[in-house]
Amino acid sequence: MCLRASVGESERCKIASAPEAVFVGPMRRLDQLLANLGYCSRREARAWVEGGRVCVRGKPARDPGEKALPSEVTVDGAPLDHPEGVLLLLHKPLGLVCSHEVREGPSVYDLLPDRWRQRNPVITSIGRLDKDTSGLLLLTDQAPLVHRLTSPKHKVAKRYRAELDGPADPAWGELFAAGTLVLTGEKAPCAPATLRILSSTTVELTLTEGKYHQVRRMFAHFGRNVIALHRSHFGDLELTSLAPGQWRELPLTHFGPSAS
Ligand code: URA
């Protein structure tokens, strides 16, 4: 038996027979649920319900204002599309921006299914890569995860491969590692970073923060331009076997059980 209990703003389903109250997920209005998951507008949801397209526990819903657990709802016979959220690992191609602003041009979000682009909360990138940077980009609709993984406090390592317009100097590595380099326009120094020189003009840089254009600015400090930039790693994740523009799903718990 399910007892509805009021918890803050959301309603959750308590399993009454459990020894302690167990919350198994928020109950949601059907019209709100369908709109937030990108199926249709709340107004359209009424027609979907009236048309018998929406079922709760296998029975056609009668009222778009009816509340249900997302896991109990089907549309046209299919379970709801990722009602619990999404976490994606994308191989960002060159030439796309990490922005929802249409006027900024083609965006990484254009690569996602239409329905996912209508979701609320929106799917957003965890940090950004420049238009001219390729590589590993995480996308999610879990705001606490975005905050956690972009906070310098958590020191998540991001590894970049950069092609420079001139030879790299091994002495730069000491300044990067010391955490004393102050970039133009900044007050705080960069956090300690690790430089590996792969060839005369090819380097690998590992950062634990994400200041604006940080990699390019760190090499600009030594008068070098970055002519190609690619992110290969984010935390324990690596870009393997994904072509540019392709993505794969990760479990929401990949970075731990709690998104906060
Ligand atoms: N540093 C940059 O300069 N650009 C990026 O896209 C990422 C890190």
Same fold across 9-79 and 87-249: no
186-211 burial, b for 16+ CB within 10 Å, e for fewer?
Answer: eeeebebbebebeeeeebbbbbbbbb
So which residues are the catalytic ones?
130
State the architecture of 9-79 in CATH terms. Answer: Roll (3.10)
What is the pLDDT at residue 240? 87
Does any ligand 1 atom lie closer than 6 A to the CB of residue 131? Answer: no
pLDDT at 257: 79
- End-to-end alpha carbon distance in the chain: 30
Nearest ligand 1 atom to alpha carbon 158: 8
Q: Cα–Cα distance between 192 and 180 in angstroms, integer?
A: 8
138 alpha carbon – ligand 1 mean position (Å): 14
- Test site for ligand 1: of 206, 213, 232, most ligand atoms within 8 A of the Cβ: 213
DSSP, residue by residue, 224-236 = --EEEEEEEEETT
For the chain, domain boundaries: 9-79, 87-249
Q: What's the pLDDT at 258?
A: 58
Mean pLDDT of successive 10-residue stretches along the chain, which has 260 residues: 32 34 71 97 96 97 97 97 97 98 97 97 97 98 95 95 98 97 96 98 97 97 98 96 96 79
Is any ligand 1 atom within 6 A of the Cβ of residue 129?
A: yes
Q: How far is the CA of 205 from the centre of ligand 1 (A)?
A: 11
Cβ(39)–Cβ(79) below 8 Å: no
Does the domain at 87-249 match CATH 3.30.2350.10? Answer given as yes
Does the C-beta of 133 come closer than 6 Å to ligand 1? yes
Element (H, E) at 198: strand 194-199
Residue 90 to residue 226: CA distance in whole angstroms: 22
211 lines ligand 1 (CB under 6 A): no
pTM of the model: 0.88
The pLDDT of residue 10: 36
